[in-house]
């Protein structure tokens, strides 16, 4: 899809993609009937959806995610209130399949604190991520599981919950029970 065509609507706002008749009966104030939201053949640009979701999490108290974002005081910088500014910042950093991520999980959505990452990278930067220190390296339980390939991240998490030390939780192989009821490695 061509997401590079930028136009202005009848109010001077930027829109993207093809101009199409607006079939929404509630938008009588839009005399030219232009759809907003950077659309191409009726499909909204993924950055529009990312921006809208970010705004919803931070500004809409009825959002199911508001408590973890707006409710914690996470804000969106004034510059990004306008989609075209967010788009101009994001377009050279983003590619299909990436998610917006705040580098400092307690910081705001602003250019200095945001990047685009994979789902896996984003999962390691959550406020409830558990970290272990192995040989001086700080890793999430998932990262430790992938790096050492001994036990799963879930097993590491359970072991930590039971009071195991970081290195033991990640580096001691899981014991299994043989068909005779005896432990084996």
Sorted by where each begins, the domain ranges of the chain are: 1-44, 45-125, 131-184
- Scan for tokens 């036990």, then name that residue: 151
- Which neighbouring-strand residues pair with 82? none
- With contact defined as beta carbons under 8 Å apart, do 109 and 52 qualify? no
pLDDT at 29: 43
Q: How many CB atoms lie within 10 A of CB 107?
A: 13
Task: Kindly calculate the radius of gyration of the chain based on its CA atoms and give it in whole angstroms.
Answer: 23
CA distance 42 to 101: 27
Element (H, E) at 95: none
104: number of CA atoms within 13 Å, CB side?
10
Q: What is the pLDDT of residue 12?
A: 53
| Residues of the chain with confidence (pLDDT) below 70 | 1-38, 176-185
d(CA 132, CA 139): 5
Crossing angle (nearest 10°) for helices 153-161 and 141-148: 130
**Owner of token pair 């104030």:** 29
Position of tokens 């970081």? 166
- What whole-number distance in Å separates Cα of residue 29 and Cα of residue 22? 11
- How far is C-alpha 53 from the geometric centre of its chain's CA atoms? 10
Query: Beta strand pairing status for 137-140 and 176-177?
Result: unpaired
pLDDT digits (tens, 9 = 90+) for 122-174: 877 777 788 899 999 998 888 888 898 888 888 998 999 999 999 998 998 88
Place of tokens 């989609």: 83
> Hey, which residues does 132 pair with through a beta bridge?
139
pLDDT of residue 44: 81
What is residue 42's predicted lDDT score, i.e. its pLDDT?
72
How many other C-beta atoms are found inside a 10 Å radius of the C-beta of residue 137? Answer: 10
């Amino acid at each position: 899809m061509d997401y590079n065509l930028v136009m202005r609507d009848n109010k001077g706002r930027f829109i993207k993609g093809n101009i199409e008749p607006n079939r929404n009966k509630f938008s009588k104030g839009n005399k030219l009937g232009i759809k907003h939201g950077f659309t191409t053949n009726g499909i909204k640009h993924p950055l529009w959806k990312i921006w809208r979701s970010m705004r919803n999490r931070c500004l809409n108290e009825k959002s199911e995610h508001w408590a973890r974002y707006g409710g914690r005081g996470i804000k969106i910088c004034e510059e990004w209130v306008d989609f075209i500014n967010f788009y101009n910042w994001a377009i050279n950093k983003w590619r299909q399949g990436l998610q917006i991520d705040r580098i400092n999980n307690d910081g705001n959505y602003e250019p200095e604190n945001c990047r685009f990452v994979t789902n896996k990278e984003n999962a390691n930067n959550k406020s409830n991520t558990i970290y272990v220190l192995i040989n001086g390296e700080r890793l999430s339980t998932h990262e430790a599981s992938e790096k050492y390939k001994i036990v799963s991240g879930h097993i590491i998490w359970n072991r930590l919950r039971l009071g195991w030390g970081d290195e033991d939780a990640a580096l001691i192989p899981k014991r299994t029970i043989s068909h005779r009821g005896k432990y084996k490695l």
